Structure 1
Amino acid sequence: MANGSRQAAWEFFGTELKRRREDAGITQVELGSRVFVSGGYIGQFEQAIRKPQLDVAQRIDGVLQTDGIFERLCRKLIDDKRYADYFAEVLELERQATAISEFEPSVVPGLLQTPAYVRALTLATHPFAADEFIEDRVAARVERAQILDDATRPVYWVIVHETVLRIPVGGSHVAAQALDHMADLAGARKVVLQVLPFSAGAPANNGSLRLMQFEEAPPVAYTETSFSGTLIDDPAMVKRAQRAYDLLRGAALSPEASLALVRSAAEDFRRCTPTT
């Protein structure tokens, strides 16, 4: 579903929510208190400014006795076939987060990838894929990254292992462009970027880790391997994940030193690129 079509569908969700709520004679504040969010959040759902999490949509159905319509709409809207099933809910949470903290040990984080970098990663895992399949993946990743241009963009903190700066994904030219892009976003203050150097030794977390915080919902963590992902909402486990991230942050280079290293690595790749 294209971004414009998805937004139109969320606007329908909001319009239908407002109609059903008013038909039930319930104010935004009353509905919010009964589904454990603020009345202001209900108003933002109705205006399609924010999107409810699946469990909130389920509670709305229960209060308004709408026979699961909002749950079904929500499930439909978070179902994006361009992504693995296990990532669908994470994708929607990402759009709602007020803060995202991410650690990537081997590749440039998805929100910071260039189209050419996405294309190279996709080809590496799907070497026999049709062009349409590959370009769908590229378009989806570019669409995801638009949250960094939104006025309500989340506070975004990224730590990458130095390995990310040394693997020539797509060749030296593509890798250099990817690092330049990551550095430019950090320079534009759209992301706080740190590098965990080889000299730091063993990392506090071996796989990719993402922590997401929300205005009126508990934080969650997400871990991912090549073929699966796990969304963690248990408070004790989220706390452990946060502790691991704090250790990573403490061992990483400062943002200033990290930016210098990223730009230096990009220049190293450029020196490896043949001239024509």
Structure 2
Amino acid sequence: MAPKRHSTLQFWGRELATARERCGLSQDALAQRMYVSPSLVAMWETGRRTPKAEDLTRCEEIVGSNGYLSRLLSELVSRDVPQQWMGKWIEVESRATTLLSFQPTVIDGLLQTEDYARAMLEDDDLVQVRMERQRVLGDGEPPMLVVVLPEYVLRQQVGTATVMREQMLHLAEIARQPRVVVQVVPPDASASAKFTGPFVVASFDGGNEVAYVDNQLRGEVVERPDDVAQLRQVFELFRSDALSKRQSIELIEKVADQWATS
């Protein structure tokens, strides 16, 4: 698996280099503004190291990438590195009776439009994989999908305003399906201060549960019952502060109209 990891990190590093060059900065200049060594920036751009979260945030402020590099690292690198875990999770999705998904940064992959996914991943092969995964919602006995996400995910631009409007309309449409629930957490909800990274809890016939936990550096299938139970409790805490299904759909449609005039 090591060669695959190296190739993926190199891809992310090239995207960082492109963003840096676009704003007219050399590696030395970026390093100076970030208070890190030029050699560290070089290692990021060649895929030999990944930046700490605080360094990545500062870097994005400087190069003006508006969260793209963070999303790419999370969605492309984290999900592509542990192939054995991601492959296992795709199998989990196909067998689950219920999926509880908390997504604090982007629309859940099972609910993304192709254009939204492409704006995030910028890789046709990865986009195709994501679109294929969505078939689980259209199969004979799809799982019950419950997605909780903060309101700012609806307002955070991925791609163009048109891409965002179409994504909102798609989200509202699919959220009306009887086996899909999308609930939005308002920014003034008390749970907002407690948000963690993205995770999904899957339940099966017989009561067994597993979870998929994702962060900037790693994605992992979690099977220890105590850990899965803790994630479920966190999910229910966030969901308790969310709008109802109907209220969430109304808000999503309102945001779609706002994107139409952006």
TM-score normalized by the length of structure 2: 0.66
Specify the alignment match of 1:209 in structure 2: 199
1:95-114 superposed matches below 5 A: 95-114=94-113
Specify the alignment match of 1:159 in structure 2: 148
1:70-149 superposed matches below 5 A: 84-123=83-122, 134-149=123-138
The structural deviation recorded for 1:188 is: 2.7
Distance 1:201 1:87 in 2: 32
Mark the runs of 5 or more structure 1 residues left unpaired by the alignment: 1-79, 124-133
Q: Does residue 200 in structure 1 map to residue 199 in structure 2?
A: no
Q: Structure 1: which 4+ aligned runs deviate by more than 6 Å?
A: 80-83
Distance 2:167 2:220 in 1: 27
Q: 1:241 to 1:169 in 2, by over 3 A?
A: same
Q: Does residue 172 in structure 1 map to residue 172 in structure 2?
A: no
Specify the alignment match of 1:267 in structure 2: 257
2:190–2:241 contact (8 Å) kept in structure 1: no
Specify the alignment match of 2:227 in structure 1: 237
Question: Structure 1 vs Structure 2: percent identity of aligned residues?
Answer: 31
Distance 1:147 1:197 in 2: 29
The structural deviation recorded for 1:215 is: 1.1
CA RMSD in angstroms comes to 1.9
Distance 2:133 2:176 in 1: 20
Secondary structure at the counterpart of residue 169 of structure 1: coil
Q: 1:192 to 1:159 in 2, by over 3 A?
A: same
Q: 1:201 to 1:171 in 2, by over 3 A?
A: farther
Distance 2:89 2:103 in 1: 16
Specify the alignment match of 1:254 in structure 2: 244
1:173–1:269 contact (8 Å) kept in structure 2: yes
Specify the alignment match of 1:69 in structure 2: none
The structural deviation recorded for 1:249 is: 1.0
- Asked which structure has the greater RCO (Cα within 8 Å, sep 6+), the reply is 2
Q: Does residue 150 in structure 1 map to residue 139 in structure 2?
A: yes
Secondary structure at the counterpart of residue 85 of structure 2: helix
1:82–1:137 contact (8 Å) kept in structure 2: no
Distance 1:196 1:246 in 2: 12
Distance 1:138 1:83 in 2: 18
The structural deviation recorded for 1:82 is: 10
Aligned letter for 1:161?
P
Specify the alignment match of 1:185 in structure 2: 174
Higher Cα radius of gyration: 1
1:168–1:269 contact (8 Å) kept in structure 2: no
Aligned letter for 1:264?
K
Q: 1:181 to 1:105 in 2, by over 3 A?
A: same
Q: 1:83 to 1:174 in 2, by over 3 A?
A: farther
1:162–1:195 contact (8 Å) kept in structure 2: yes
The structural deviation recorded for 1:261 is: 0.7
TM-score normalized by the length of structure 1: 0.63
Mark the runs of 5 or more structure 2 residues left unpaired by the alignment: 1-78
Q: 1:168 to 1:83 in 2, by over 3 A?
A: farther
